Structure 1
Amino acid sequence: MKHTLTFAALLLLGTSFAAPARAENVIIAECHGNGADFYLSDFDRENIAEAGKSVGLPPPTSADAILVVDRRTGAYHWDSRSRAAIARECGGKEDELALFEGIQPKPGLWQARLGATRLDGCPPIMEQFFPKSPGALPPEWQQPRPLTYQAPFHPDKLEMTKTLEAQGKSKITWRSVGNDAWEAEVFSELFGQIPAGEGLGSKMTWNLKVKSPSEITHISTVHIVLPAEAAAVLGGKDCKMVSANAWVRVGD
């Protein structure tokens, strides 16, 4: 993480504005390459220099400048053009001018709340390999630790995403599936090696949702399609292992 933003919770907004009105707070543009999402930060425009300082930028030349976050490179820059112009440069369309609702997790002490693993349609022999209660998991996984989230929040910047990619274990591409919610397929390279007719369709997915500034839910689902021969011997064919977990802010 190159810079740590100190933005507080993003202001909750409507889905769009009928006309581009001047916002009283600094606007953040999140550039994806196929468009841009626009958010309001907690910095008012009188303190716009502090917003730049949070990410290592000098003050902008205009008090109406927009702070652009390029999710493809992780770089930040100021842009004094209209939202329409920024959206076009980010690969979007002129009409993509909405300010989106967003929840920003607060920095502080966060703790993992690990749920039990639920098996649906799996052979009985597989149950012995998965813990049935959080108590069966390593206690260090549940120790509170200090965390700071970049704003606007995006799971690309989470430690679990960066670690898996840095170690070459899995390329993770998060896609938006709703307000403050994302989904990603994990270890797709590994599951992709399963030949057709021998369990094609097996995959692992992560679903993440920011429910409030103090809670993030994380559901991990492993879907295994057993080959016909194995299903005949073990029983079951479509096996799902679902673990519902959460990160909760427990202190400053």
Structure 2
Amino acid sequence: MIIYEYPFNERIRTLLRLEDLYDKFVFFLHQEHAQQHHIALSTIFEMLEVAGRADLKSDLLQELERQKNTLLGFKSNPNVIPDRLNAVLADIDRSSTALMAAQGKTGQNVRDNEWLMSIRGRTIIPGGACEFDLPSYYAWQHRTPQQRYDDISHWFAPLAPLFDAIGVVLKLLRESGRSITTVAQAGSYQQMLQGKVYQMLRLTIDESLGAIPEISANKYMLWVRFTSQDGDMKPKAFEGDVPFELTLCNF
């Protein structure tokens, strides 16, 4: 099964992009080759570009506080499992505390490092990080895998509370939706939203169908059009019926 996610607003779009970058960063950080560590470091630079919004940290703190207050209201509900609720509240408190303790602008430690900024300036140029452009970086790439891992982990550490908070917020959002199973007749599906505001759509489909969803939505209507790809990867309309699972998420 493949899960596709579609953000309904720019705020969630930014969080999903940062989550995607973080997943790539973790993967390449835990590899051993210098070229893989180069990608991990380059991904940190991409994170700084996406996380450049000054209000991202305050937005996350406000959302975590709002979710905490909402969940506290369920404590007296007999249908709620206390241990599970307390675990979620503990995650929110831990994440909020770490994010509030983070000083300065997101990634300022990287921006203040002239050596890292020189690498960042060259990596945006195609082929700009060659050994003759950055001999000191080329020398660093010849350090042991553990040394490179320790260096990159150190540079990323001040960013960690932000990504932990993003993980908590997106987890709560994903768990807020209720899934329905439906069918796109002749590869097309429409649903009236009647002005109800959602923040994210999750669509789960059997990958063996070969159907790829193209999603568009506003506060009034949701439209999913399925396509497929030929040998040249050119998209074409999917003409058959497509069963899938749909989840609309909102805090």
TM-based fold match above 0.5? no
Does 1 or 2 have the higher relative contact order (CA < 8 Å, sep 6+)? 2
TM-score (norm 2): 0.27
TM-score (norm 1): 0.27
